Structure 1
């Protein structure tokens, strides 16, 4: 059996082997309970063998709201995840809930990776990989399922990014995922620090982009219902040894 290994390394969001990336959020309430939950998750997993070859990695992030945890798991397929749920998930959940009672699980989002991009400096030549100091999750919801609209909106974001006149140097990468139900887009963005992201938000324009026609097009896209932003720290990585 393969052992479970704890790592500080960030996940590779663009790994082509990941056929079913899942995101979920837990509300735990306080910074102390965030830390306790992370350690409970680590213990429940490290005491057991790695559950499946089809699970490539499982990562937990602590929210800057001091209340939530973001979970990101990298599965090769949804069927592999369903097999895990039937045979291995509940024993881990029970151990975690015993250690930290009262966790509120806010649902599991099923996604597919669509497009990834880096900063212009990363795209234009071989540069050392920068370690993210902050993860920014942008969750966009549309009015009803429309896979074509999901893809077209992400493509419009990339067009705006590629023509951004003043990109903030703190941005490292952006990884866009489409929900399998056709209603949402999730961007897992890597930044060098939370401060850089806040500076970008405070600059001209609505969001991180400048006040250009391309960004206005993104922000007023037909059927765009809502957009939320959350900042996180990578707190725990679990991978097969």
Structure 2
């Protein structure tokens, strides 16, 4: 497979002009099809005009499971996405499907960022994220105050007991959408950047010993918390309007196809 030589800039999950952050997942079945889909997406998007001024960025990540792709698009507002969905999305998907048939599209949800955590500057400076971990946490009550309070506790715990390999974490609250979007309003999505898999696995191994700490104990015992599931990803490609420029992420594991 060819190398993706222009990976593009990483998105700024905390940029203030994002009115809707959309996340979706595709299942490809094999690492070979996963790589082929990334190349088909790149060929499709590189060969077409930018579809809408309200689309601020579009980023593709490959799951370490060798199966999934995650799509993260930032829009000025969700209404602009619905226009794109009706007028331009299908033609692009058809082009990708012609190259990689039988893609399973597992769902699309719209979120708005609530809070972010950033590691101390000394830890972040010069460090490229080698791993992205996206976790979806569910609650049994649709009241958004419940989810905001839980995120506040998580950020407090991270500030008190930061993980050495965690660079940042952005917490998003799901919002209601039109019929082709998820309408589950009791979910938090966290988008975390880690230095690499080794650091993430070390942090997960330390969860047990620190579970009794007051900050993390309150997070785990939070009323209404149902459970959480996460996936690990490597960055593959991002797309931004031609007039926009940003430093490119050049870490080779994320900038090339596996």
2:168 counterpart residue number: 173
Give per-residue Cα distances to partners, 1:177-228, cap 9 Å, x unaligned.
Answer: 000143100000000101110011112437xx65312211111211111201
Deviating runs (4+, > 6 A) in structure 1? none
2:256 counterpart residue number: none
Q: 1:71 to 1:127 in 2, by over 3 A?
A: closer
2:201 counterpart residue number: 198
TM-score (norm 1): 0.90
Q: 1:107 to 1:156 in 2, by over 3 A?
A: same
Report the Cα distance in structure 1 between the residues aligned to 2:7 and 2:61, rounded to whole angstroms: 13
1:237 counterpart residue number: 238
Q: Which runs of 5+ in 2 are unaligned?
A: 1-5, 177-184, 243-258
Report matched runs for 1:35-54 at 5 Å: 35-54=35-54
- Matched residues, number: 229
Indicate if the aligned counterparts of 2:123 and 2:164 stay in contact, CA closer than 8 A: no
1:154 pairs with 137, 151, 155, which one? 151
1:227 counterpart residue number: 228
Report the Cα distance in structure 2 between the residues aligned to 1:36 and 1:170, rounded to whole angstroms: 31
Q: CA deviation at 1:9?
A: 2.1
Report the Cα distance in structure 2 between the residues aligned to 1:97 and 1:76, rounded to whole angstroms: 27
2:30 counterpart residue number: 30
Q: CA deviation at 1:117?
A: 1.3
Report matched runs for 1:44-193 at 5 Å: 44-119=44-119, 121-122=120-121, 128-164=125-161, 167-181=162-176, 182-193=185-196
1:3 counterpart residue number: none
Indicate if the aligned counterparts of 2:165 and 2:195 stay in contact, CA closer than 8 A: yes
Q: CA deviation at 1:66?
A: 1.0
Report the Cα distance in structure 1 between the residues aligned to 2:33 and 2:82, rounded to whole angstroms: 28
Give per-residue Cα distances to partners, 1:69-121, cap 9 Å, x unaligned.
Answer: 111000000111011111110100111111111111111011001111111x2
Q: CA RMSD in A?
A: 1.6
TM-score (norm 2): 0.85
